[in-house]
Amino acid sequence: MAESHAADRIRLTQGAGRVRVLLDGHRLADSTDVIELHETGYPVRYYFPRAGVEMGLLTPSATRTHCPLKGEAEYFGVRTGSAVVTDGAWSYPAPLPAMAPIAGRLAFDGEQVQIVTA
């Protein structure tokens, strides 16, 4: 039932082009291999493979949240020079089965960083 409900609220699609994430002019992520997560009531989230993310700019956070549709998320702080964003990125290391394509990928808070699609 939960997965059926998730399908009503969430849709995953393969991104059609290049997506970049910037903070204070610094590149945080850049990839053509993104998964777009469309969830009712939320902006589109872009999930990047770790190979497309500047992991050295991220610091694991103690923050964890649980989504009944996706599973448990772990968070990361982001730092580029003087710009700092607390919990500006997150990942679902072991999401619920319906969300398996986003496992281990990272998404960024579009209200705190700049997301550029091409």
Query: Across the strands, what pairs with 11?
Result: 38
Fold annotation for 2-117: 2.170.150
Contacts of 18 (CB under 8 A, 6+ apart): 30, 31, 32, 117, 118
At residue 1, the pLDDT reads 35
Confidence label for 117 from pLDDT (cuts 50, 70 and 90):
very high
Residue range 3-18, pLDDT digits in tens: 445 557 899 999 989 9
Q: What are the pLDDT digits (tens) for 16-40?
A: 899 999 999 999 999 999 999 999 9
**Model confidence, pTM:** 0.92
The tokens 């772990």 sit on which residue? 74
